[in-house]
Amino acid sequence: MSVFTVIKCDHTGREVLRYTGTRLAGGPEWVCVRALFQFADRDLGYVTLHQGDIFTEWFYTDRWYNVFRVEDGRHGHLKGWYCNLTRPARLLPAAVTADDLALDVFVRPDRSLLLLDEAEYAALHLPPHEQQAVAAALTDIRTQAAAGSGPFAHPLPPGAP
């Protein structure tokens, strides 16, 4: 495990957020990072994030999304999974960068989905091939979440990042 930097960019590639976590595992097309929520408490309406909540984050170079498993930092219970629709991540030896495309999905512990920020996404006016990639990514998220596979496994299987 090593210190790893996560860099979130907007759809134009401009950096908007940077934080660090611990690299848990990875391969040529993915990385898994664990980070603590370092910001002031945020009530999003469908979940409240508290400073110290634990985020296990998966980034992929071959998928148009990332997935953040959110656990309560005090009690350890699962709050859900926050999925950002992004362009495929760019992996560096000690960092990952992804261009956020505004559209998000929150998957509740019961596996019901909440689609977020649709108006912001529509306002980006992405080219048709990117819109198609995002639509395919939404289908992939829905399928994996319903099956409890990949990052949506709960609890995480032994040895799995």
Residue 104 corresponds to which tokens in the numbers above? 């998000």
How many domains are contained in the chain?
1
158 located within any domain: no
- Whether 156 is covered by a domain: the verdict is no
Classify residue 86: in a domain, yes or no: yes
The reply to whether 159 falls in a domain is: no
Domain that holds residue 48: 2-150
CATH, residue 112? 2.40.380.10
Whether residue 155 is contained in a domain is answered as no
The CA distances from residue 6 to 16, 28, 51, 80, 106, in Å, are 11, 17, 17, 20, 20
Q: Is residue 143 assigned to a domain? A: yes
Q: How far apart are CA 9 and CA 16, in angstroms?
A: 5
How many other C-beta atoms are found inside a 10 Å radius of the C-beta of residue 123?
9
Per-residue pLDDT of the chain (161 residues; tens, 9 = 90+): 678 999 999 999 999 999 999 999 999 999 999 999 999 999 999 999 999 999 999 999 999 999 999 999 999 899 999 999 999 999 999 999 999 999 999 999 999 999 999 999 999 999 999 999 999 999 999 999 999 999 998 665 455 55
Q: Please report whether residue 96 resides in a domain.
A: yes
157 located within any domain: no
Give 11-50 pLDDT, tens digit per residue: 999 999 999 999 999 999 999 999 999 999 999 999 999 9
